[in-house]
Structures are given as structure tokens and as C-alpha cells.
Structure 1
Amino acid sequence: MTCANNVPISTIGWSSANANLICVADCLTDGGYSTAPIDILTDCTSVSSSLKMMTSERSKNVTLSADAHFYLAYRGSAWVPLNDPAKTALDWSIVTYIDLRKRPDGFINTSPIAKVVSPQYVILNQTTQINILVSDANVGDDVRCRWSKYTIGYRRRKRSDEERHENHYYTAQKYIKEPDNKEIMDLRKKRQTCSSGCLKGEKCNSVRCDGTMCTTLTCESTCCDYPTTTTTSTSTDSTTSTETPGTPKSTSSFPIRQAIDECGDICYPNSVPNGTTLTNCTITFTGLKAGVWYGIAIQVEDFIDNTSTTPMSSVPVQFLIYVQPQPACSNRPIIFPLNRCLEVQVGISISFNLSAMNLCNSSVVKLADIIVSSGITGMTRGNLTNLSTNSSVSYVKFTWTPQINQVGSQQLCTIAFTTENLQSDQYCIIFTVKNSSDICVTTTTSTSTTTSTKTTSTSSTASTTTTITSTTTSTTTTSTSTTTTSTTTTTTSTTTTTTSTTTTTTSTTTTTR
């Protein structure tokens, strides 16, 4: 198995498996799509020989007229044997709803994106929750998941504007004319006979139904005819299924509004074990028998808010679940987060290693591979390589040169598998592609502040005045001394410290990685 473009026709055994995405309902408002339909060919983004798994995708731009809204489908018949007991050659029908009419808020809608890897491996008798990762570019939209379903078509009641004959009759000498030119609602009964095959309600195992398109317990259509499609076989190797055109459920009795088959032969609840539920885009599943494959069909839809009941678009998600016996080690591997700058420049190649750790004894269980569940166009990956210093850790090298049409966000999602098909949580990386060299700019700002305080010191000496009076008295002489006053001058000393200006220094360091 090699990674190549134009999958599946580039894959051994699938050289004639190309087909177109066809309009199946509301085709009168397909905006011109049916005049130039697109094919199903995709380009490989990841391949794992050890897991016998290939991932491929391709984006195509289609120009449609304004207000186009219609349903597109990819139909075929090459599911692996599914369910218990196993059924072979079951049909698939994958349908998406496109609506380019303006939303209630005046914008054209962007459909949600869903991510899930196929197959999902679950352990016997263990309840497993499978999360479908969803996102929507329109902020505020309410994204919901539901089981895909088959919606029957219908005939509109016939509106006829017939011209009536005027009927005049005599009443009290006045002619009364009945109203004419009325709009009449006529009911048309469905056809009750078949040119071949069996009628609605007949058991599928009856003689009349044998060999017809009656595939359930009883004929559910008005007429279960014999199939008219031609099966085309292609040579293939022993590991490849053969794809044949699917046999869609009959819509011949509903020429006005075609049936919409979103799930083919894997419609809920007949396609899964009892007790399987879907809540908030999380499937709760318990496998009751080992070695059984199941098909899951989900529609992811976006609504203008959480009160709306009208989806603005519908995106299909279909994948396989395999029930396996209890493994020797039930510890799931982990993927180490990427420790590098996630901004990249157009035209500049980058490479990085993504590592995973095996949490089981490596002598019992090993890492099988790290697969890409959602890739980036142009990004290539190498083989799984064991880390020389730790036998529990392995890595895959990725290389990529971003292109000008990839400016913006690009997401890579990966999952690690062990040799017992235990898988890690899905790990996603979002790169930002820029058309400039200012990538991975890191700015560090440091601020230092120095402040001095003004201090004033004052000392005072208080003046003291002393008066001395000396008087001497004798019997014969009186001596009087003059009073002397001594005054001390008050001195005030002030010391001022000059205030320094507060200075803030900012240092910016720019690092390009």
C-alpha cells in the first residue's frame, strides 16, 4: 500500500472505482452543479501498512449561482461484512446538504467540520464513548449530531385551475350562476400494481418478492421491482473489497420530491447493538461479540441558535467500529504535545517529530503507528522510528512547505495505535500560516524603578534671657548693681536632600525561532 494522489483509482484493485457526487434532491435549485459535477477522487495524506489504513482528502472549488440549495450524495456498495450475523455487499449512501441562501443574520453559512478516525476499535463487553470532534467557523452557531436516516419522497397534491361550465338555474325569476374558475385540490392515488415484482406489504421471502429490491421483512415501497442496475466487477488482490454501484432505495413512486437516503444499509438502530446511544456528538457503544464490524452513520448540522429547528447545512460522518477480544494490555498510548512555535511562513520548509509513548510492556505490546486522522495538504510523514534512548517512545517525522493558498489556520490531527489496536486520544495541532517573516516573535518586557525620597532636617536653639540684679546693703552705704540681660540668638539649621527623578527602564527582547 503506497500513498498516492487520485485515490481510489490509484490503489491496486480500484482502478475503475471513480464516480461523481450526484445531486439527489432539490436539483432544480442546485445552482448549476449538475452541469459539471465533481468526482470522488482524493489525495493520500497518510498510509499505514501495519494497520492497513489509508487516509485521503481533497478540496475543490465549485462556482454556483446565488441561493443554490440541494442535496449531494456518494453511493456505492463495498462495506466489509457488517453486523451479527454478518451481512455482505451492503450499500452505502453518504449525503450532504448545501445551502447558499443567506442566513437569518444576513451572511452566507459556513458548514461545520467533523473529525473522527475509522475504524474505531472497542473491547468486548466494555462500554466505550466515541467522541466526534466538531467545530464551526460561524461563532455562536449551535452544532448538533443526529443519526442519519432515510426520508421517503412524496407526490404533491395536484393543483388544477379548471374552467367549469356555467350552470344557470331558475330561482324566483333570477338566474343564479355558480362560481366558476375555482382552484380545486385533487388527490391522486398512488399506483397499486406492479409490472414486475411484489406489492407493498408482501413478505420479502415470498415467491413474488424473491430476487426483487425487497430487503427487509416486508416490501416497504409501493412496488418492489427487480433491480435494473448493472454490477461491475474489478480485479483485486486478496485484501481489497470490490466496489459495485449501490442499489438505492426505490424513489420511482415519488417523482416530485425525491427520497433522501443518508445511510444506505447502515441506518440506526438496525446497524448497531441494542443500547447504543448518541448524545452531544458522543456515541456510547458496547460490543457484545468479538470479531464483529459495525457501520455508523451520523449527520452533523449547524443551527443559527439553540432554539432553531431548521439546519443550515448537514455534513455526513460515516465510520466503522470493530469489536475485539480483551487485549493483553489495556493501557492506551499517549501522544506528547508538540513543543515548538506553531507559526510558519509561506514557502519556508519546516520539519518536526511527533512522539508517542507505549504504556504497556514493550515485550508484550508495541506501538504500531501514528496515523493522520486529518491532514494538511502537502505535508508528508516518514515511518515510525523507535527512540534510541527509550524503547517505549517512538516518533514520526513530518515535513511541510506551506503554500500561499494555505495562509491562515491549518490543522493536523493524529492518533497513535498499539499492535493490539488500542488507540490514543486524538491529538490536533493548529498551525498559523503567514505570508511574512514576522513569525514566532516573543516580546519580553522588564521594568525597573528607582525613587529617592526628599528629607528635610531642622534643628533649633531656643533663646534664653537671664536677668541678674545684685543689691548690697550695709548700715551706712547702699550699693546697687546694674541689672544685666543676656540674650542668646535662636539659630535654625535646615538640611535638604535633592530628590532624584524616578526612572522606568523597559527592555524588549525579540526572538525568532
Structure 2
Amino acid sequence: MFVLIPLVETSHFRGGTITWRLLNTTPSGSSVDIQIRQRYSWNRASVFCDDTYIASLTQIGDNTSISCVSGTCSTWNSNLIYTKTYCTDYSVGGSVSSGEIYYTRTVPLNISFSIGFISGNWFANLVVGAKGLWSVIDRINTIVRPDGYLNNSPVATTLPVIYKAINTQRVHVVQMSDLDSTDTLRCRWSDNSASNFNSYDKCADVCNGVPGAVLYNDNCTLVFTLTLANMYVAVALQIEDYYTSISSFLMSSVPLQFLFYGYDTPSGCSTPPAIIGNRPNRGIYQIILSWIPTATQFGPQGFCAGAIDNTDVQSNQWCITFLVGYDSPNLIQASSVQGTVSPIGTIFANHTIFSIQATRQVNRPSRNYTYVYFNDTATGTSVHTVDCGWDPHVMYSGNTITFYIPYPPWIPGHTYYITFDSGVASGTDFWKPESSPITDPKFWRFDIWNPAVSSTTTTTTTPPTSGTVTTRPISTTTVNTLLTTTGIVATSTTTVTATTTSVTTSTKSQELHIFDFIVIALLV
């Protein structure tokens, strides 16, 4: 098989990835519809992108056709796709333009084949592969899995260019995810052996592009040391998924290529900026991003950001995964009767069992530090906390979460309210989407009965002096007024859906450069 390799404008490629997913994972008939996603990054000096390009859906990059290079390629000619992408994000300081595009194509069931973006050239200041070719190869597999479903490829996320000071050992983690949540994921160096899973050269001139680097396959962690300033090294990886951790059957292999850039440590200050969370003040810079997912972006969408200060020192990357199309379990607030939460109203000081229902089936969260807080309204402080990640006194069953308080801290006559961290309830879908935090003190309140201010009322009934009334036997209940609960105050809340993500940087940062793996609009 011969593959035409177009040589396009030089010195502009900054890496990329090709992934795919099935539109329906239940096999039916003789063919399947596959959505193929491409994402590439370029030198912004050669391939321009700005806010206008993003808003107008302008395409950028090379317009090379994706070739089928091995496997069952007989049907691919009618499924041609191209490498030009829609501009999605850019960095002025980092001189990077990035874009992605989705194609949906129909292919036969029960086949396996490799497709790729093969072109050139890399730029001159590359330690390995200077002015050489690139080969970004993806393996597509429509063979039915052992569980009777069709497979989806894994997805990996990282910044396209990562800046590191030379002569210091560094650690870089590539974020991996998979729509098939039970699959085992591993990453490997891309290689050029004809006997590899893709049956094709997967890295061209940048194989072994990071001299001396060590790759830990199970969590895709690279340990490396850059030794040359003002030079790039190319990282070429394959992200692979297996049905189980002991399975030898490799289901797919997707490429991820990106760059490290080495620089001399600035003499004035060598401390890099850091992304610290969402506590902005006058000494901290921030940027707000807004993103509306489209139907083509169903599933896991990775997002990575990095901060670069005015001395060109870059922070470690910060990555999260958005789950598009999956609903989180929402905790249900009580209205005016006990049902979705229990108890409400007035309870005894020795009460130990509390429960709340969610809109969907719930599981224990997969991480610690997901707290439930029992707060005293008199002081505004927490009197009891429960870490749902590990505490055995928290039980999950169906749509219900139950909390057991072995030593109740309640004070007679006091009112308490309950608040929740994000992720107290985790869904059962892919990657367990988390419940939203609840901080409203009116969401769930209860009072503790105070016997010192209670009263007893005795009612006397005088029987009739004459007449006979015959009734059928009925059961009777005697009401003890001491146990009567107080009235319940109905509360209401307004649900607010936030569509923004706020990322803040340290006081050194003068600019936040975003290299994300999702379509975004920058609001600055």
C-alpha cells in the first residue's frame, strides 16, 4: 500500500489527536455510524486564529485528506474526511492556534482499520525530528466487545505546548478518559514498527522524541529532563483501551502528539505561576470562559489551561473533564410534607437517622472530602460533618442517601440546617457525574424539641345522659400532645444554571493562555 504524503507549509505543526465514538453502541444490521473527531494545533504565526475566527466558525490548518493506512480499507474511499478544523482557541503569548472538527461516517460492522494524518514538516528547532514528517495514526474497531456492545475510543487531554525549565527533572500527567467507563486505559510511546497494533508507522520522524524520558503506562505519567534551552521536543503517544485489566485484547489505539519547550530559568524569579482555584482578589488575575456544548460533543470533553507570566514562565497545566449529555443526581428539597427528606419540623434531641432522596440513582462518591455539614443557626457554625467518600455511617440505596449520627450534638430549642459539598451524591453513568453543592440554609432545616417550654393540655369529654349509639368496632389512637410536631414552613428555591468556568492565576501571572480540548468563547 502506498500513501501520498503532502508536504505543506513548514514549521507550523504543534501536534494533535484523532478519536472516535459510536453513535449507537448496540450492534444492529451490517454497518455502524461512527463520529470521528480531529483536533490539531499550529504555530499561530503561520495559521492565524482570533476571536473573530472563533465566532465566524472559520476553518484553519491544512486541508489534507485522512488516509486509511492498514486493515479493512476497502470502504474508506467513500468516506473521505479532511484535516482542516474549525478554530476553537488560541494563545497569543504561546503562539498557538487550535481547532477541531467532527465527521460522521458509516462503516461495516466487525472490521478494524487504521486511519491517519501523515504530512510534514516539523520545525527546525526540534531536538529529534527537525524538519521531519509527522504521522498521527488512529485505530478504529467495530468488532463487538465481550459484553455485546460496540467500543468507543479513549480520549486524552493535554496542552499542545508545555514550557519547562531545563536541567530539572519534571513530571507531566496526561489526562485519559473513556466513554466506556469500565475499560482499562494505558498509554504507550508511539513506534514505527510494522507489527504494532496499527500496523503502520505511528510517529514518523519524532519517534523517541524525548531523550531519556520514562513513561508510566497505567496513569500516563512522563518523567523527563530537558537539557537544551530554546528547543522543542515532540511527544508521540498512543492511548489504548482494554476490556479488563488482565485482558490481552486491545480494542483501540488513538494518537496524542504535543510539545515540550525548554528555557533557561529567569535570573530574577524562578517560581512559576500557579492555578489556585476561585478566590480572586486584586493581586490575582483571572479569566472567564463560556461554553455551550453541541450535540456532536456528547461524552467526555477534556479541558486544560496553563498560566504564563511576563517572564514566559508557565504554570503546571490544570485539567478537568466535562461530561456532556449526562445528568447529575440532584438532591430534592422538601416542600411542606416529609417525604424526600426526613426528618423536618421538630424532633427529639436524641434523633440519629437522617435521609434525603435524589432525582436519580446514587452511589458513594469516588473521592474523599465530600462533606455533609450539620449547622447550628444560632452560631452559623458546623456541629457535625460527614465525609461521604469513606464514612460507614453514610449509606446509599437506590435514590436515597441515609446518614447515621451515632452521638447527636443537638441542643434543645435550637434550629439546625444541612448543607452539602459538590459530589455528595454520584450518579451511576460514565465517570459518576456529581451532584451540585447546596449552601442554602433554607434547603433542609429542623428544630430540636425543648421540654422546658412545652405545655400539656387535658381535654375532658362528658358522656351523654341519655340515648344509645351503636357503632362498628374501630381501632383508636390516643394523641400525646407532647409528641406533636410544629408546623412546617414551606420554602422555595430558584435553580440557577451556571455556564461559566472561572480560572485564576497567581500574582505573577500577566496573561492566562488557554489551550482547551473543547469549543470555547473567551470573554475578556
Give the structure-1-normalised TM-score: 0.53
* SS of structure 2 residue aligned to 1:321: strand
Q: Does 1:511 align with 2:508?
A: no
Q: Does 1:334 align with 2:381?
A: no
CA displacement at 1:267 relative to structure 2: 1.1
Q: 1:307 to 1:153 in 2, by over 3 A?
A: closer
Contact 2:59 2:86 in 1 (8 A): no
Residues 412-456 of structure 1: per-residue CA shift (max 9 Å, x gap): 432222232322331436376699xx9989671212354769999
Q: Distance in 2 between matches of 1:301 and 1:267?
A: 18
Contact 1:78 1:89 in 2 (8 A): yes
Map 1:309-388; keep pairs closer than 5 Å: 309-327=248-266, 328-337=268-277
Q: 1:431 to 1:509 in 2, by over 3 A?
A: farther
Q: 1:24 to 1:312 in 2, by over 3 A?
A: same
Q: Does 1:425 align with 2:317?
A: yes
The residue aligned with 1:152 is 194
Q: Distance in 2 between matches of 1:25 and 1:395?
A: 47
The residue aligned with 1:122 is 164
Residues 218-259 of structure 1: per-residue CA shift (max 9 Å, x gap): xxxxxxxxxxxxxxxxxxxxxxxxxxxxxxxxxxxxxxx995
CA displacement at 1:286 relative to structure 2: 0.6
The residue aligned with 2:185 is 143
Map 1:64-83; keep pairs closer than 5 Å: 64-81=107-124, 83=126
Q: Distance in 2 between matches of 1:82 and 1:425?
A: 23
CA displacement at 1:130 relative to structure 2: 1.1
Q: 1:412 to 1:130 in 2, by over 3 A?
A: closer
Q: Distance in 1 between matches of 2:242 and 2:194?
A: 23
1:293 to 232, 242, 252: 232
Map 1:200-211; keep pairs closer than 5 Å: none
Q: Distance in 2 between matches of 1:78 and 1:7?
A: 29
Q: Distance in 2 between matches of 1:8 and 1:405?
A: 15
Q: Distance in 2 between matches of 1:408 and 1:142?
A: 17
Q: What amino acid maps onto 2:234 in structure 1?
A: G
Computing the radius of gyration from Cα coordinates, the structure with the larger value is 1
Q: Does 1:56 align with 2:99?
A: yes
Q: 1:294 to 1:406 in 2, by over 3 A?
A: closer
Residues 138-186 of structure 1: per-residue CA shift (max 9 Å, x gap): 12211001111112269xxxxxxxxxxxxxxxxxxxxxxxxxxxxxxxx
Structure 2 unaligned blocks of 5 or more: 1-47, 331-434, 458-478, 497-524
Contact 2:193 2:201 in 1 (8 A): yes
Q: Distance in 1 between matches of 2:437 and 2:235?
A: 45
The residue aligned with 2:210 is 272
Q: Does 1:414 align with 2:302?
A: no
Contact 1:441 1:511 in 2 (8 A): no
* SS of structure 1 residue aligned to 2:446: strand
* SS of structure 2 residue aligned to 1:35: helix
Q: Does 1:500 align with 2:438?
A: no
Q: 1:52 to 1:314 in 2, by over 3 A?
A: same
Map 1:182-261; keep pairs closer than 5 Å: 259-261=199-201
Q: Distance in 2 between matches of 1:290 and 1:441?
A: 45
Contact 1:275 1:285 in 2 (8 A): yes
CA displacement at 1:131 relative to structure 2: 0.7
Contact 1:445 1:507 in 2 (8 A): no
Q: 1:36 to 1:137 in 2, by over 3 A?
A: closer
Q: What amino acid maps onto 1:264 in structure 2?
A: A
Q: Does 1:395 align with 2:286?
A: yes
Q: What amino acid maps onto 2:269 in structure 1?
A: C
Structure 1 unaligned blocks of 5 or more: 155-256, 340-354, 356-388, 457-496
Residues 16-44 of structure 1: per-residue CA shift (max 9 Å, x gap): x311111000134x6x3331211011111
CA displacement at 1:77 relative to structure 2: 1.2
Q: Distance in 2 between matches of 1:309 and 1:110?
A: 17
CA displacement at 1:319 relative to structure 2: 1.0
Contact 2:136 2:255 in 1 (8 A): yes
Contact 2:59 2:87 in 1 (8 A): no
Map 1:176-187; keep pairs closer than 5 Å: none
Q: What amino acid maps onto 1:61 in structure 2?
A: T
Q: Distance in 2 between matches of 1:7 and 1:94?
A: 28
Q: Distance in 1 between matches of 2:57 and 2:122?
A: 15
Q: What amino acid maps onto 2:165 in structure 1?
A: I
Q: Does 1:20 align with 2:65?
A: yes
Q: 1:44 to 1:10 in 2, by over 3 A?
A: closer
Contact 1:446 1:507 in 2 (8 A): no
Number of matched residues?
Answer: 312
* SS of structure 1 residue aligned to 2:482: coil
Give the structure-2-normalised TM-score: 0.52
Q: Distance in 2 between matches of 1:418 and 1:48?
A: 13
Q: 1:421 to 1:42 in 2, by over 3 A?
A: farther
Contact 1:410 1:430 in 2 (8 A): yes
The residue aligned with 1:385 is none
**Relative to structure 2, which stretch is displaced further, 115-124 or 396-405?**
396-405
Q: Distance in 2 between matches of 1:258 and 1:56?
A: 25
Contact 2:154 2:240 in 1 (8 A): yes
Q: What amino acid maps onto 1:337 in structure 2?
A: G
Q: What amino acid maps onto 1:262 in structure 2?
A: K
Q: Distance in 2 between matches of 1:405 and 1:288?
A: 42
CA displacement at 1:308 relative to structure 2: 1.2
CA displacement at 1:114 relative to structure 2: 0.2
Q: What amino acid maps onto 1:266 in structure 2?
A: V
Q: 1:6 to 1:57 in 2, by over 3 A?
A: farther
* SS of structure 2 residue aligned to 1:62: strand
CA displacement at 1:9 relative to structure 2: 9.4
The residue aligned with 1:446 is 445
Q: What amino acid maps onto 1:329 in structure 2?
A: C
Q: What amino acid maps onto 1:20 in structure 2?
A: S
CA displacement at 1:401 relative to structure 2: 4.5
CA displacement at 1:273 relative to structure 2: 1.8
* SS of structure 1 residue aligned to 2:108: coil
Q: Distance in 2 between matches of 1:123 and 1:258?
A: 35
